[in-house]
Amino acid sequence: MKKQYLIYVLFVLLLSNCGLHKKGEIQLTDYVNPFIGTAGPGNTYPGATVPFGMVQLSPDIGIPGWDRIAGYNYKDSIISGFSHMHLSGTGAGDLYDILVMPTNSRFTKRIKDNNFIPFSRFSHDKETAVPGYYAVNLLDFGIKAELTATARTGIHKYTFPKDDASQINIDLGYALNWDAPIETYINVVDQTTIEGYRKSTGWANEQRVYFVIKLSKPFKSYQIFKNDSLTANPSKAIKTKVVLNYNTIDEDEIILKTGLSTASIKGAYKSLEEEASDFNFENYKAKASALWEQELQKIQITTPDDTKKKIFYTMMYQSMLAPTLLSDCNGDYKGANGTIENAKGFDRYDTFSLWDTYRAAHPLYTILHPKRVSSMINSLLAHYKETGLLPVWSMQGNETNMMIGNHAIPVIVDAYFKGIEHFDAALAYKACVESSMVDSRQLDSYKTLGYVPADENNENWSVSKTLEYAYDDWCLAQFAKALHKLNDYKYFLKRSENWRNLYDSKSTFMRPKLKNGEFIKEFVPKEYTPYFCESNAWQYFWSVPQNIEGLIKVVGGNLAFEKKLDSMFTLNPLPEDKLPIFSTGMIGQYAHGNEPGHHVAYLYNYINQPWKTEKLVREILGTQYKNTPSGHCGNEDCGQMSSWYIFSSLGFYPVNPAQGIYSFGSPLFDTATINLENNKIFVIKTRNNSNENIYIQSIELNGEKTDRNYITHKEITQGGTLIFTMGKFPKKEKNYMALSSEMFH
C-alpha cells in the first residue's frame, strides 16, 4: 500500500508540475470555492482534505446547532479550534474528533456558548480555503493557523508571535451536537509525541479514532487533564485533554501532524510513517493540491462565464468529499460488527449516505472513478459480511439506520451492469437478496401486504418506504435475470410493482394506507405528514423511476401526466403553509433542496415534451446554485446535490440510477471533455450556446443525427462526441424516441 500511495502521489505531482500546467497558468483548483454551502442550509465545511480521504481537518466554531452541523458557519465570528473529522452537507451532527487549538497570553476570555474552551475571533478577510488547504488568522492571539492533509493524516502549521505562554491545546473531550465521548485516552510519549484514542457515541453508535501526534518543536512542559482536573500522565477518562507549553519567538513556526486510524494506535503510527514522515508542510500542501487537480482534470469545461466555472468545479470538489476512507495503510479498520477487520485488495470506505447518493452521486462515480467504485462496492459487501445486511446509512464502521430503503442494492446492481471489476457478483447477489428478505425495517409488512402500512401513532414514512423498496426490488430483479435466476426475477419484478398498491385513483396521488387495506381519510397532498420521508405527496408521487410508463398510464395518459407535472412546478406554497426545514429550493411543490424530486424535471422526456425539461433544468441550474457561502439551496448531502449539478450542466441525468441510461436536459457549457479512466475521451459540444438559447434543436452523436432523448453509459465510456445545437425557442415538432423503462444497459 505504501508503495502504491507514493507512486500515485509522484504521478499526480509530475502531471501537475511537468507538462500539464505551465508556470503561472491557472489550474482547475483555482476555480474551487470550498466556502459554497458553509452558510444557509448547505452544511458543508471549508477545511483541508484530499479526495475521499479519512481526514477532514477543518475549523470548528465550537457552538452547537443545525447551522453548524459541519462544525462551521460562515456567519459566525469565532473559532474554537480545528478538529480532524467532519461530515459534508448532512443533517447529522457527529464527528469533530481531536480538537487542536493554539493560544497564548494575549487573550484569556471564555464564554458559556462554547463550553468555556479557548477561542479567538477571526475575519473572512484573513481566511483562505482552497482544495487541500485552509488558513486563518486567529486575531485575538496573533497566531496564523494553516491546515493541509493526506489521506490519513492532518497537518497543522501554526505561526506564533513572541510569547512566553504560548500553548497548543489538544482536547479529546470536546463534543458538539449529537457527538459525545464515552472513553478517551492521552499518553505523552515524549516532548514531540502524543498518542491516544477517542471513543464516542452519537449518530455513529460506536466510533473509534486512534491517533498519534508528532510536533516539529519540543514543548517545554505540559498539563494533562482528566474530566477537567489535573492528573498524571497517561490519562484515561470520558474527557481528557493536554495543554502543551512553549516559549515562542516572533514568527515561530510549529508543525503538528496527526496520523489517524480506526483500528489501533499502531495503525496511526503507520499512517504518519507512510504518508507524513517529515515536517515539510508546503510539500504536503502541494501534494494535496496535485491530487485534487488530477481528479478535477477528469472533466474540462469551456465557458466564458467564470462564475459558472467556479460553481462547476466546486461541485466536482464537493462530489468527492464522501464516501470517506476507513481502512489503514495495511487494510485494518473498525468493522460494523465491532471487531477489527482487514480489507484485502481494496480500500474500505464508509460514510455512505445512500438514500441521497444512489440517485446521482454513485452513477457519476461509475463514469469518473470506476476503479474507486470497485472499492466502494467491496466496502458495501464488507458491511454485509460483518452484519448480515447491506448498509442503509453507514458511518465510521457503524450502521446509523438513518433514512430508508435498501439503496446499496441499486448502487451494486448499477456497478455490476456497468462492468465495474474486482468484486464477487455471487456474494453481491446474495447480499442483495438477504437484505431484501428480512423482516426488519418493516419489510415483513411490505412482503405480506405489498406495502408498508400507515401507523397513525408514530412517524414511519410508510408511503416513502413502499416506493423506495419497490425501486430496489426492480434493481434486484434485473440482477436476478442477468444471473439466470428466473424465479427470483419474477418474484422481485412483481414486488417492484408494489407502488400500485398505494396509488389512489380518486386523489391521483400515492396515499397512505392502513393495515386493513383502507386509505387514510384525511389527506392533503401538499401537507408534510409522518407518512412521507422529508417530503409530501406531491414530491414523492414521482418516485417510480423503474416504471414511468406505468405511472403515466394509471394517471390517465400523457396529457394527464403533463398537467400533473405542470402543476408540480407551478403550485406554489401559500404564505400560511408550514414548510419544514428540508423544504428548500422550491419551484412550485418541487423542492430541489431535498433529494426525492431530483429526477422529476426530466420526466417530460417520457411524454415527448423535452423542451419543458430543458427549460426547467436551466432554471434549476441558474437559481439553485450560487458562488456564495449560501450557494446551496439545501443540504449538500455527501455529493448528491453537487452531482445533480455536474450531470445536468453536462446535459444529461440518470432518471433511473441503475438503468445505465441518461436522459437529456439542457447543457450549460460550450464544451465539456470527460477524460475517462480507460483512456477514452468523451466530448460534449454545444453550438449556439447562450443564456437565452436553452432549447435543444438537434443532437448528433459521433457525427450522426440522433432522434432520441437519452444516451447510454456504454456510449459515454466508449468515447466519442456528442453535439447539441441550441436555440432560443423550443422545437416542439421534434419527435424523439422517448425513454422507456424497458431499456436497460
Q: Could you tell me the pLDDT band of residue 260, with boundaries at 50, 70 and 90?
A: very high
Work out how many domains the chain is built from and give that number.
Answer: 2
Q: Looking at the domain assignment, is residue 223 inside a domain?
A: yes
Provide mean pLDDT across the span 62-68: 94
Report yes or no on whether pTM surpasses 0.85. yes
d(CA 532, CA 541): 10
**Exposure pattern of 361-373 as b/e (b: 16+ CB <10 Å)?**
bbbbbbbbbbebb
Helix 2-17 with 265-275: angle, nearest 10 deg:
30
Q: Could you tell me the pLDDT band of residue 738, with boundaries at 50, 70 and 90?
A: low
282 and 312 together in one domain:
no
94 and 137 together in one domain:
yes
237 bridge partner residues: 184
Q: Does pLDDT of 720 surpass 90?
A: yes
292 and 348 together in one domain:
no
Q: Does pLDDT of 24 surpass 70?
A: no
Q: Looking at the domain assignment, is residue 740 inside a domain?
A: no
**What is the CATH classification number for the domain harbouring 719?**
3.30.2080.10
Burial status of residue 485 (CB atoms within 10 A of its CB: 0-12, 13-18, 19 or more): middle
Q: Looking at the domain assignment, is residue 745 inside a domain?
A: no
281 and 313 together in one domain:
no
Amino acid code (one letter) for 150:
T
Q: Looking at the domain assignment, is residue 744 inside a domain?
A: no
CB of 726 closer than 8 Å to CB of 695: yes
276 and 351 together in one domain:
no
Q: Looking at the domain assignment, is residue 291 inside a domain?
A: yes
Amino acid code (one letter) for 460:
N
673 and 701 together in one domain:
yes
Residue 364: helix, strand or coil by DSSP?
Answer: helix
288 and 306 together in one domain:
no
pLDDT tens by residue, 346-385: 999 999 999 999 999 999 999 999 999 999 999 999 999 9
The residue range of the domain holding 141 is: 2-297
Query: Torsion angle of alpha carbons 558, 561, 563, 565, nearest 10°?
Result: -130
Contacts of 475 (CB under 8 A, 6+ apart): 409, 410, 413, 414, 432, 546, 658
Q: Looking at the domain assignment, is residue 355 inside a domain?
A: yes
d(CA 275, CA 150): 7
Amino acid code (one letter) for 386:
E
Grid cell in block for residue 450: 405489498
Q: What pLDDT was estimated at residue 578?
A: 87
d(CA 572, CA 575): 9
**What is the CATH classification number for the domain harbouring 79?**
2.70.98.10
Backbone angles phi, psi at 94, to 5 degrees: -145, 175
Q: Does pLDDT of 586 surpass 90?
A: yes
Q: How far from 31 is each of 73, 149, 180, 318, 741, CA to CA, in Å?
A: 21, 20, 37, 13, 38
Q: What pLDDT was estimated at residue 455?
A: 86
274 and 359 together in one domain:
no
278 and 306 together in one domain:
no
Q: Does pLDDT of 618 surpass 50?
A: yes
The DSSP element (H or E) to which 362 belongs, if any, is helix 361-368
269 and 404 together in one domain:
no
217 and 306 together in one domain:
no
Backbone angles phi, psi at 53, to 5 degrees: -80, 160
Q: Looking at the domain assignment, is residue 252 inside a domain?
A: yes
Q: Does pLDDT of 734 surpass 70?
A: no
**Exposure pattern of 538-575 as b/e (b: 16+ CB <10 Å)?**
bbbbbbbbbbbebbbebbeeeeebbebbeebbeeeeee
Residue 597: helix, strand or coil by DSSP?
Answer: helix
CB of 180 closer than 8 Å to CB of 233: no
pLDDT tens by residue, 525-550: 999 999 999 999 999 999 999 999 99
Q: Does pLDDT of 12 surpass 50?
A: no
Instruction: For Cα atoms 577, 581, 584, give the angle at the middle one, nearest 5 degrees.
Output: 80
Amino acid code (one letter) for 638:
C
Percent of the chain with pLDDT over 70: 95
Q: Does pLDDT of 184 surpass 80?
A: yes
565 and 483 together in one domain:
yes
Q: Looking at the domain assignment, is residue 156 inside a domain?
A: yes
